[in-house]
Amino acid sequence: MLDVNVMSGVRLSRHYFPRVLAQNWGRVIFVSSEVGAFTPPDMVHYGVSKSAQLAVSRGMAELTKGTGVTVNSVLPRPPAPTASWTTCARPRRAPA
């Protein structure tokens, strides 16, 4: 899990980040998770990987201060355990 969630971003950043900094313009966006900031007890392994990803993003953002490069993380919320894609996509009807 760490290899995919953390090291994939680290490897891509190692490759592209020097070029982006040399151009003095660019965007680096990590897709993390709200679980990285608020880890439920049954998702500690996933939370650790997403917390590490947030740390990488924050560290890179500090390196770009004063440049035209920004580094951000998007933290989508996990779906509710009882929801499904069909119920999420279906609009609710107003009560009669």
Token code pair at residue 34: 């709200």
Q: Residues 10, 13, 43, 46: which is the catalytic one?
A: 46
16 a catalytic residue: no
One-letter amino acid at 65 equals K
- In contact, 53 and 30? CB cutoff 8 Å: yes
Residue that the structure tokens 């609710």 belong to: 92
Among all residues, which ones are annotated catalytic?
46
